[in-house]
Amino acid sequence: MKRAALILTALILMASAPPPPAPVEDRPLADPAQEARAQAIHESLRCVVCQNESIAESGAVLAADLRQVVRERVSAGDSDEEVRAFMVERYGDFVLLKPPFEAATWLLWLGPFAVVLIGAGAVFAYLRRRRSAGEATPLTREEQARLDALLAEEDEA
């Protein structure tokens, strides 16, 4: 009985879920030069839903909306930088695939280099310590004689 109630509840919840949004149709600009500018801007803006691809590549509904906003701004006469500034104003520097090099993004730009340098320093220190620890002092005559005797005993056995 509990199982039937659970299944019925799941079916009701699935039936009451809103349908997925209809795909937004891309409407290219009539002017090929403006459309080419809009496409170039699309390539430079990050999809805030997907986060790892540009709005030109993304199939997300929000990316389609952003593509349309870019086209509207381009057809209104905004320059490329004005369109990007508009998007940054709304979504922050995150929307740019290549964020600017400023104090707030130093870690983003320099972080990978710092990690490589720290890693190289750690490897260098490890190898240096290993080399200095590997230097052995030579055996004394008594120790050498004792070693030879032990090896001879082992060979006889």
Residue 41 reports pLDDT greater than 90: yes
Q: Give the model's confidence band at 153: pLDDT under 50 very low, under 70 low, under 90 confident, else very high.
A: confident
CA 4-7-13 angle, to 5 degrees, is: 140
Whether the Cβ atoms of residue 60 and residue 46 lie closer than 8 Å to each other: no
Question: What pLDDT, on the 0 to 100 scale, is given for residue 120?
Answer: 96
**Mean pLDDT within 131-149:** 83
Whether the Cβ atoms of residue 124 and residue 131 lie closer than 8 Å to each other: no
**Mean pLDDT within 102-106:** 81
Phi, psi of 45 (to 5 degrees): -110, 135
Question: What pLDDT, on the 0 to 100 scale, is given for residue 134?
Answer: 64
Can you give the pTM of this predicted structure?
0.57
Q: Give the model's confidence band at 114: pLDDT under 50 very low, under 70 low, under 90 confident, else very high.
A: very high
Residue 129 reports pLDDT greater than 90: no
**Mean pLDDT within 66-86:** 93
Rounded to whole angstroms, how far apart are CA atoms 85 and 94?
Answer: 12
